[in-house]
Amino acid sequence: MTSVLFDGIGLLYTGDPEAEELTDAALVAQDGLVAWIGPAGEAPDADQRVDAGGRCVIPGFVDSHAHLVFAGDRSAEFAARMSGVPYSAGGIRTTVAATRGAGAAELTARTAVLVAEMAAQGTTTVEIKSGYGLTVEDERRALRVAADFTAETTYLGAHVVPPDTDPDDYVRLVTGPMLDACAPHARWIDVFCERGAFDGDQTREILSAGIAAGLGARVHAGQLGEGPGVAVACELGAASADHCTHLSAADVEALASSGVVATLLPGAEFSTRSPYPDARRLLGAGVTVALATDCNPGSSFTSSMPFCIALAVREMRMTPLEAVRAATYGGARALRRDDVGVLRPGARADLVMLDASSYIHLAYRPGVPLVRQVWQAGQRIF
C-alpha cells in the first residue's frame, strides 16, 4: 500500500460533472487510484506528501486518436503543402512503404519516443492505431507494438487501399484474414471513410465485420468533405466519429441523438491549413465533444494536447473549460472509459500539475511548457 497526498491545490479541475472545479483542494491517491478529494489541509495522512503550492491540477489527458506506429519522415511533404500543394489521403502510402521496411525493434523504439513526448505534455491515456502496414503481417505487427504501450489499440487496416490493389479484394482481406490476425491484439476497429479511401458501404461492411469479431467501432469521418462516415458511425453504435470537420445538419442531429462522441482533431486542420470544425455547432446541439492530437507523420505531427487545447480555444471558439473537458472527460467518453479523464474516488490516479494557477493558461500561454508533474496510476512519470 502506498499513498500520496497532493495538498495545496489552488484549483482542482476534476472532470467530474458532479463537482467539476474545486478551489484550495487536496487529493489522496492510494494503490493507483484516487482515494479521497476534499479541502486543502483536511486530508488524511499519506506515505508521501506533494505540495502543489497553489498550482492547478487536472486529470491526465486522454488522447483518443493517434497513429504512432510508423517509420519515415514527411517533413518535405509538409513544407510543400505550406507552399500550396493540397493535402490528399494518398500521402499515407509514403509512410506505409517506410513502415514496412522498418524492423519491429525500430517501430517499438519510435513509438516509445512519441509516448514519452505525450507523457511529458500531460497525456496519461493514449489510443494507438495500426494502418501503415496494410498487409496481414504488417498490421498485426503494428498492433503488437501498440499493445506494449496501451490497452486502447485500434485496427486500422482500412486506412487506405494499398497501391496496385483491387478495392474489393482489399475489403475482403480487411474483413477476413487481416481481421482474424489483428482482432486478438485490438480493442477497436476504425475506417478512414473519405473520398480516396473507403466509401459508406465499404465502411459499414468493415466495421460490421469488426463488431462481429468483438471489436468496438470508431470512424474517420468528414475530414476532407461531407460524406457518409458519421451516419454509418451512428447507425452502428460507434464510440466516436473523428474529425467531423464537414458535417450535414443530419450528421449533427445523428451525433446528438445517438450519443456518438465527436472527436475533433484541430492539429490536422492546423497542419493542412484547412478550415477548422465548427465546435460551437456541435456543443450547441448537445453533442459530446472530445479533443485529440491525431498524431501522425502526414497531416498532424503533434503529440501535444496543450497545443490542441490552445487551437480549440483560439480557432474553434471553445471556452478553456470546454477544451480541457474535451481533452480529459471527452476523450474518456470516446474510449468508453469511466476510470480515466476524471478525478473522483475510485478513478485511476492520473493527474497533471500545471505550472499555472488555472487550466486557462493552457490556451492563454500557447507553446509554453506548463506541465510540471505528471502522475499515472499514482506513480510519477514526469
The answer to whether 25 touches 39, Cβ cutoff 8 Å, is yes
Interface with Zn ion, residue 127, by CB under 5 A: no
Cell numbers 472532470: residue: 15
Of the pair 130, 202, the CB lying nearest Zn ion is at 130
Of the pair 14, 293, the CB lying nearest Zn ion is at 293
Of these, 138, 205, 251, 294, which contacts Zn ion (CB under 5 A)?
294
| Least spacing, CB of residue 163 vs Zn ion, in Å | 20
Give the range of 32-40, 74-82, 111-119, 286-294 binding Zn ion by CB under 5 A: 286-294
| Pairwise CA distance, residues 307 & 323, whole Å | 11
CA atoms within 13 A of residue 65's CA, in its CB half-sphere: 37
Cα–Cα separations (whole angstroms), residue 96 to 28, 70, 146, 285, 320? 45, 8, 16, 38, 37
Q: Please return the burial class of 212, using the count of CB atoms within 10 Å of its CB with bins 0-12, 13-18 and 19+.
A: exposed
Give the range of 40-48, 137-145, 294-302, 357-365 binding Zn ion by CB under 5 A: 294-302
The answer to whether 187 touches 210, Cβ cutoff 8 Å, is no
| Pairwise CA distance, residues 77 & 83, whole Å | 10
| Pairwise CA distance, residues 127 & 151, whole Å | 8
| Least spacing, CB of residue 300 vs Zn ion, in Å | 8
| Least spacing, CB of residue 279 vs Zn ion, in Å | 18
**Amino acid letter, residue 153:** T
Take residue 258 and report the three cell numbers written for it: 445517438
Give the range of 97-105, 111-119, 140-148, 293-301 binding Zn ion by CB under 5 A: 293-301
Of the pair 115, 342, the CB lying nearest Zn ion is at 115
Give the range of 16-24, 280-288, 290-298, 343-351 binding Zn ion by CB under 5 A: 290-298
- Write the secondary structure of 182-218 as one string of H (helix), E (strand) and C (coil): HHHHCCEEEEEECCCCECHHHHHHHHHHHHHCCCEEE
Of the pair 40, 66, the CB lying nearest Zn ion is at 66
Give the range of 50-58, 74-82, 289-297, 362-370 binding Zn ion by CB under 5 A: 289-297
Q: Which residues pair with 146 in a beta bridge?
A: none
| Least spacing, CB of residue 220 vs Zn ion, in Å | 5
Of the pair 139, 294, the CB lying nearest Zn ion is at 294
| Least spacing, CB of residue 292 vs Zn ion, in Å | 9
> Which residues of this protein are in contact with Zn ion, per CB under 5 A?
294
